[in-house]
Structure 1
Amino acid sequence: MSSSSLDDVRPGDVSPDGGARAGRWTVTGYAALHVLLFAPIVVTFVLVVVSSVLVVVWVGILLLAGLLPAMRGLAGLHRSMAGRVLGTPVPAPYLPLTGGPLADLRTRAADPMTWRDLLWMLWAMTFGFAVSLLAVVLFLAVVTLPIWWYGVVPLLRGRAAVDRAILTIGRTERLEQRVEALTASRAVVVDHSATELRRIERDLHDGPQARLAAVSLSLGLADDLFDSDPEAARRLINEARGTSSTALGELRDVVRGIHPPVLADRGLAGAVSALALDMAVPVELALDVPDRLPAPVESAVYFAVAECLANTAKHAGAAQSWVSIRHDGAVLRGEVGDDGRGGADLRGGTGLPGVAARLAAFDGTLSVSSPVGGPTVVTWEVPCASSSPKTTRS
């Protein structure tokens, strides 16, 4: 192991989060890179400010469309260096881009992190640059090498701490975003639950309730005909028996739509395997999940798989499909894909948005990749813990 490697693994070079911090040689290299990036930062900052003034004409809009991504690139590079110096990642909490040049420009311009990036550039051009330049000078000057040896790491960690404070949101802002996300997901889940209740009511009214009413009517007529026409009464009873069997089947379908019995009996792996057996196209399974997970999570993931496989059967025109679900002890990750025609859209219809709403109730996320021509891949993650043994199927 080299001396520089040894320098990076001293006890003091471990952050409170457990990550390895960069040592003096590495941080000196980062300081030199900060100095080299001084000119691009100044030029980018000036151009962004000028373009913002010129946004009243189309030239400013065109310039900002190219400059804002460049500014994010410079900020992202410094986030990476700050994370390495501090021994913990520095996230970039930008708003997600919606697609399209003008839409992305609006999103970037309205993003509070864009203004934080501008504030950081002011810091990086002034005090931040002075700190990094001092570290380089201490290294290059022979008489100050002892000062560099003991002082460069605290110096650059101080700069990295300021970079992190500006380039990412604080704990209070993260909690505010979390509250907003939970409020939005709760509203979606409440709407989805109300829709589900209306669907169940409609299914019961149009199916079993109507058939049970017919059974009651048939039995009443049969009772009236027992003495005068026993044969007709027998026919009515037989019809009532058939109708009651149909109503029982419809009731089972409604119950299965609320919580499938196979899920309660066999767990998530068994229930997904049963779904795959009912598919007309071959389904490759890779299931590595505990025997039992929290029942609400099992139900949400089961219906997510069921919806994705139903879309494959109805719309994809696929020859092959696959389902992968794995649990790492803290997060349940899943994927359903097919080799069909693609074109699935999370923003269209009600199926996939409904699945996303179910998962959001458990702090889960869902994403769809479905270019025209395929393949379609739906992935999700749901935080959940389980102490039961895993069941692996393929």
Structure 2
Amino acid sequence: MGYVRRRVRASVDALEHLVGGLGTALLALGALIWLIVVAAACLVGVGLLLVPGALRMLRSVADRERARLSRWDGPLPEVGRSPVDRRTALRDPVVRRELGWVALHAVLGLGTGLLGLALPLYAAQDLTFPLWFRLLRPEDGAPGLVWWRIDGLPDAVLVGLVGVAWLVAAVVCGPALARVQARPGRWLLAPPPGVDLSLRVAELTATRAAALDAHAVELRRIERSLHDGTQNRLVAVNVLLGAARRAVRRDPTRADEILERAQDAAEQALGELRTVVRGILPPVLDDRGLAGALAGLAGGCAVPCRLTVDVPVRCAVAVEATAYFVVAEALTNVVRHSGAGAVDVAVRRERDRLLVTVSDDGHGDADEARGSGLTGIRRRVEAYDGRMTLTSPPGGPTRMHVELPCGS
């Protein structure tokens, strides 16, 4: 059952990506036609003025495909925004790769998108045919690829069985079609090797700075917790023990009362130390795993929380800890700031990435600049080379999506 559920979910995701790829393929087809027109006009000298605009259009369509692919199977960096001179455009490796992509995607992307969309449509049409076949005349036959005459319910049920075959084909072939559709973009829209290396160096520099900032913030938080809580408790224990030592000779009854207060203060200090330790790396992750730890957070949330976890195997400890803190901080923000009546938390593993989504039905308008803890979440995620996307229009709903690399 779990395998079937994963296959259905993969096919639904593939259909979503095929439809998105079909949209960019139509844009690529329009761009290709316009580029051909501009190239033909350049032969007579009147198209040179149109070249910059055509190149900007090409870059815009390519960037839209980069953004689509980045949302699906890992980031695909955008290339530089510097304008390309029309006299040297064809010598630019990025422009040449984008020209190759627009030609491929206009044909391959359009074909795979139409095929991927046709499979579930044929399945829905044929599966429901026994419910509405009486609206057709027998001589009209069945719509689609069914060639036999429909004389009654048995013939209509046979069409429904064809719909089952279409459905199986959609589930089996959909993910493969989506990968074929995305392959030209992954191959041609990625930056050239040298550019990719420089972008990666810049990205690692930024994430290293974010990691150092997050580490400094975490150290300050631990120091503040120890100084304001545990240290004060231990000072109180020391004072009380000194008072009890002096009271032993004068008033043993009073000394017993003071020792009891010292014991209470020591227990409170131990409790605060456990809280600090849990803030560094929650022991519940080792004891119950990520699903159990998140269930504890959801159960303790003041806002009704629906939790869905689909992580069949354990991830690295650092990844699980990051996901735990993301959910904990997000739920804290929901309780304090959103005014929501319900919150949904979904955690699943997709290939080599752990995906965490937190959605609420609150009033929205969440802003990282207002110090609601979102900046800390982003720093922690980016320090682990992950990505965070926040959508929170005024009036809601608010949706936070986090992707964390977790290996293969």
TM-score, length basis structure 1: 0.62
Aligned equivalents of 2:406, 2:200: Cα separation in 1: 18
- Following TM superposition, by how much is the alpha carbon of 1:385 offset from its aligned partner in structure 2, in angstroms? 2.8
For 2:84, what is the secondary structure of its paired residue? helix
Is 1:44–1:71's contact at 8 Å kept on the other side of the alignment? no
Is 1:76–1:92's contact at 8 Å kept on the other side of the alignment? no
Aligned equivalents of 2:46, 2:294: Cα separation in 1: 56
Is 2:343–2:359's contact at 8 Å kept on the other side of the alignment? yes
Is 1:219–1:237's contact at 8 Å kept on the other side of the alignment? yes
For 1:319, what is the secondary structure of its paired residue? coil
Aligned equivalents of 1:341, 1:175: Cα separation in 2: 42
For 1:279, what is the secondary structure of its paired residue? coil
Residue in 2 that maps onto 1:111 = 81
Is 2:38–2:47's contact at 8 Å kept on the other side of the alignment? no
Aligned equivalents of 1:216, 1:40: Cα separation in 2: 90
Residue in 2 that maps onto 1:46 = 49
Aligned equivalents of 1:233, 1:72: Cα separation in 2: 84
- Following TM superposition, by how much is the alpha carbon of 1:122 offset from its aligned partner in structure 2, in angstroms? 8.8
- Following TM superposition, by how much is the alpha carbon of 1:329 offset from its aligned partner in structure 2, in angstroms? 3.3
- Following TM superposition, by how much is the alpha carbon of 1:339 offset from its aligned partner in structure 2, in angstroms? 0.4
Match of 2:89 among 120, 126, 129: 120
Task: Tell me if 1:253 matches 2:256.
Answer: no
Q: Alpha-carbon deviations, 1:9-57, whole Å to 9, x = none? A: xxxxxxxxxxxxxxxxxxx9998774235479998963687xxxxxxxx
Q: Which runs of 5+ in 1 are unaligned?
A: 1-27, 50-66, 82-88, 96-109, 133-160, 387-394
Structure 1 45/332 Cα, relative in aligned 2: closer, same or farther at 3 Å?
farther
Structure 1 35/80 Cα, relative in aligned 2: closer, same or farther at 3 Å?
farther
Structure 1 248/332 Cα, relative in aligned 2: closer, same or farther at 3 Å?
same
Residue in 1 that maps onto 2:235 = 213
For 2:249, what is the secondary structure of its paired residue? coil
Task: Tell me if 1:295 matches 2:279.
Answer: no
For 2:311, what is the secondary structure of its paired residue? strand
Q: 1:67-78 residue pairs with structure 2 within 5 A?
A: 71-77=55-61
Task: Tell me if 1:344 matches 2:366.
Answer: yes
Q: Alpha-carbon deviations, 1:120-141, whole Å to 9, x = none? A: 379899xx9xxx9xxxxxxxxx
Letter in 1 for 2:58: L
Aligned equivalents of 2:47, 2:238: Cα separation in 1: 80
Q: 1:1-394 residue pairs with structure 2 within 5 A?
A: 34-38=35-39, 46=49, 71-77=55-61, 93-94=77-78, 111-112=81-82, 114-115=83-84, 119-120=88-89, 169-349=191-371, 351-385=373-407
Structure 1 282/34 Cα, relative in aligned 2: closer, same or farther at 3 Å?
same
Q: Alpha-carbon deviations, 1:278-310, whole Å to 9, x = none? A: 111111111101352111111111111111111
Q: Alpha-carbon deviations, 1:73-119, whole Å to 9, x = none? A: 334557999xxxxxxx9x98447xxxxxxxxxxxxxx823x438885
For 2:307, what is the secondary structure of its paired residue? strand
Aligned equivalents of 1:262, 1:358: Cα separation in 2: 20
- Following TM superposition, by how much is the alpha carbon of 1:215 offset from its aligned partner in structure 2, in angstroms? 0.7
Structure 1 172/74 Cα, relative in aligned 2: closer, same or farther at 3 Å?
closer
Structure 1 40/197 Cα, relative in aligned 2: closer, same or farther at 3 Å?
farther
Q: Which runs of 5+ in 2 are unaligned?
A: 1-28, 66-72, 104-183
Aligned equivalents of 2:266, 2:359: Cα separation in 1: 40
Structure 1 74/355 Cα, relative in aligned 2: closer, same or farther at 3 Å?
same
Structure 1 window deviating more from structure 2 (220-229 vs 370-379): it is 220-229
Structure 1 175/78 Cα, relative in aligned 2: closer, same or farther at 3 Å?
closer
Is 1:268–1:291's contact at 8 Å kept on the other side of the alignment? no
For 1:297, what is the secondary structure of its paired residue? helix
For 1:292, what is the secondary structure of its paired residue? coil
Is 2:358–2:400's contact at 8 Å kept on the other side of the alignment? yes
Aligned equivalents of 2:64, 2:33: Cα separation in 1: 15
Letter in 2 for 1:258: I
TM-score, length basis structure 2: 0.60
For 2:347, what is the secondary structure of its paired residue? strand
Is 2:240–2:261's contact at 8 Å kept on the other side of the alignment? yes
For 1:280, what is the secondary structure of its paired residue? coil
Aligned equivalents of 1:255, 1:313: Cα separation in 2: 24
For 1:115, what is the secondary structure of its paired residue? coil
Supply the RMSD in Å over aligned alpha carbons: 3.7
Aligned equivalents of 1:47, 1:29: Cα separation in 2: 15
Residue in 2 that maps onto 1:107 = none
Structure 1 194/116 Cα, relative in aligned 2: closer, same or farther at 3 Å?
farther
- Following TM superposition, by how much is the alpha carbon of 1:226 offset from its aligned partner in structure 2, in angstroms? 1.0
Identity %: 41
Is 1:267–1:291's contact at 8 Å kept on the other side of the alignment? no
Is 2:39–2:47's contact at 8 Å kept on the other side of the alignment? no
Residue in 1 that maps onto 2:20 = none
Structure 1 122/201 Cα, relative in aligned 2: closer, same or farther at 3 Å?
closer
